Structure 1
Amino acid sequence: MVRLFGPLVGLFFAVALLWSFGVGAIQAIREPEPATAVQVYHLAPHEPEPGFSFNGAFGKFDRAQLQRGFQVYKEVCSNCHSLHFVAFRDLAALGYSEAEVKAIAKDWSNKAKVVDPKTGDETQRDNVPADHFPKVYYAGTGNPPDLSLVTKARHEGPEYVYSLLTGYQDQPAELLKRFPDSKTPDGLYYNPYFANLNIAMPAPLADDQVTYGDGTKATKQQMAADVAAFLTWTAEPKMEKRKQTGWAVLGFLLAATVLAYLAKRNIWARVH
C-alpha cells in the first residue's frame, strides 16, 4: 500500500507543477507586459576592461587595488556615503600597518560620538581602530545609502557599481522620442544603469580626481574599478577564505564518495 501511495503523491505534485507552469505561460503569451523605458534601455552591468581579480572560483583580491579603492572612497565617496558596518581595524586586511590604521582612524573627518552614561550628554572624540566608520549625516537632497553591503544588495554588485559610476551620459533622443514622458526631471541625472534611469547623485568621478600613491593613472574607469573592488571587500571580506574552504569541502566530499562506493562494492561483493 505504501509503495503504491508514494508514486501517486509524486505524480500529483508533478501534474500540479506542470499545470501551474502551463497557466503562467499561456497568460504571458496572451498578455505580454508592455515595454517600458527601463526594460528597453536598461543595460546589463559590465566589468572593467581587465576584469576583476576576485571573480571566479580561484579569484583573489588585489591588495593594491583595494588600497586605491579605499582612497577613492575616502576622498570622494565618504562625504555622502557611510561605511558603518566596517571597523577601522579591518583595514589591516588591506595591508595597512597598525600605525597607519590608527592614523586613518584619528584623522577621519567625522568624529566618533559617545554618550556619557551618567549625564546622557553626547560628546565627540577621535576615532580609534576599534570604532566603526562613523555614519554620515547628509544635508542635501536624497538619502545616500550606506555602502558597506552595496555589492551584496545589488545583482552583479561589483559590475553594477562600476557601470553606474561610468554610465552617466546625455539622455538619448531616441528614448525621448519613444517615451516623451521619460524626460529626466530637473535636479536628477540620466544613467541607464540606474533602476529608473534618473539618479539624484551627480557624476562623482572625473579623470585625475585623486592622486594614487603607487603611480597608477587615475582615470574615471580606473577609479570606478578600484572603488567597486573595495566595496566588494567591505561586503565580503572573507571571500578568499570562503573559496579556500569550499575547495577543501569539495575535496573531502569527493574522497568520501569514493570511499563510500568502495565500501558498497566490498559489502555487496558476494551478493548475487
Structure 2
Amino acid sequence: MEYTHEIIMPNDDIPFKMFLFEGKDGNYVRQKHWHRSVEIFALFEGELEFYINEIRYPLQPGEFMLVNSNEIHSILSPKKNQTVVLQIPLATFEKYYTDERFIYFSHSSRLQDEEVMRLIREMYLAYQEKKCGYGLKVQSQFYMLVYLLVTKYRKTEVNEDLIRHNKNLNKLSAITSYMKENYKKELSLESLAKIFGYSPTYLSRMFQKYAKTNYKTCLDNIRLEHAAKDLMNTEITIGEIAFNNGFANSKAFAKVFQAKYGMLPSEFRKCKMGT
C-alpha cells in the first residue's frame, strides 16, 4: 500500500490547525500517510487505534496521541468519537531542535496527560465560541501546550537511523509538495529529478522506498484527486477536466480513473450528482 504526503495549512486566525477529527462518526480508516507538522489527537469520547511506524497504539478517552513530523501513521476509528486534532507547524519548535536540526517527541503517557487534555479542551471551546479576545486566549493556551511538549515530552537523544529516515522524508515532502503545486504541467520523472538535483534512478528509488509507490502513480493520484472534485462540483466537460488536471487526453484520464475508482469518470459524475 502506498503512503501519501499530506500538506497542512494553519487556520486563518491562529498559527496552527485545529478541528474535530473527520472520523468522528466511526467506521472510518485513514490510510498510511505523513506530513511535516507535529500532530496531536486528543480523544475525549469513544476510542481510536493508531499505527505509527507499524506499532499499534490504542487510545482511550482522556488520552492523546502525538505524531511526530514525518512519521508514517494510519488511524482506525471503528466507533463514534469526539477527538480534537491539532496540527502544529514544525517551525514552532525551531529553537528546540537538536544539533541535527531535528526534534522528536515521546509517544508514551506521562503525568502531564491530564494538563494537556485540559488545555486542548479549553482551546477548542474558546475557538468555537469566538468571544471577544478568543484569539489571545487560544494562543496563550497553545504556547503553554508547546511548553509542556518541549519540557516534558521531547526526547534529546535520538538514534541515527531515525534522523536519517526523517531527512529522507523531508526530501520527499519537498518533492511531493512541488508536484501538488505543479500537477497541471507536464511533469516527467526526468524533469523533476533535474529540478531537485537527483538522477531519475535515485528519485524513483526514493518513491519506492519511502512512499511505497512509484512516481507515476503518485502523480496520477494527485491529479485524480483534483479531477474528482471537478467532476462533482462543476459542469466542465470530461475532456476539459482531463486537460486542466494534467492528463494527456480524456482516454488516458478515463483509464487511470477507472483503475482507482472502479468506474469511468462519466459514471462517477452521475453517481455523485444522483442522476
TM-score, normalised with respect to structure 1: 0.24
TM-score, normalised with respect to structure 2: 0.24
Q: Which has the higher contact order (CA 8 A, sep 6+)?
A: 1
